Amino acid sequence: MTDTACVPALDLRALRKSFGAFEALKGIDMHVAPGELVFVIGPSGSGKSTMLRCCNRLEEPDSGEILLEGDPVTGRGVNLNRVRQRMGMVFQSFNLYPHLTARWNVTLALRKVRGLSRSQANDRAMDALDSVGLADKAGNYPSELSGGQQQRVAIARALALDPSVMLFDEPTSALDPELVGDVLDVMQHLKVQGMTMLVVSHEMRFAREAADRVIFMDEGRIVEQGPPEQVFGAPTQDRTKAFLARVARE
pLDDT (0 to 100) of residue 2 = 44
CB count within 10 Å of CB 241 equals 13
pLDDT (0 to 100) of residue 1 = 45
pLDDT over threshold 80, residue 128? yes
pLDDT (0 to 100) of residue 5 = 52
Measured distance CA(109)–CA(81) in Å, rounded: 11
Flag whether the pTM goes above 0.75.
yes
Q: What percent of the chain has pLDDT over 70?
A: 98
Average pLDDT over residues 71-85: 91
Average pLDDT over residues 88-93: 92
Question: Going by C-beta distance under 8 Å and a sequence separation of 6 or more, which residues neighbour residue 157?
Answer: 96, 105, 106, 108, 109, 128
Question: Going by C-beta distance under 8 Å and a sequence separation of 6 or more, which residues neighbour residue 67?
Answer: 7, 8, 10, 11, 13, 73
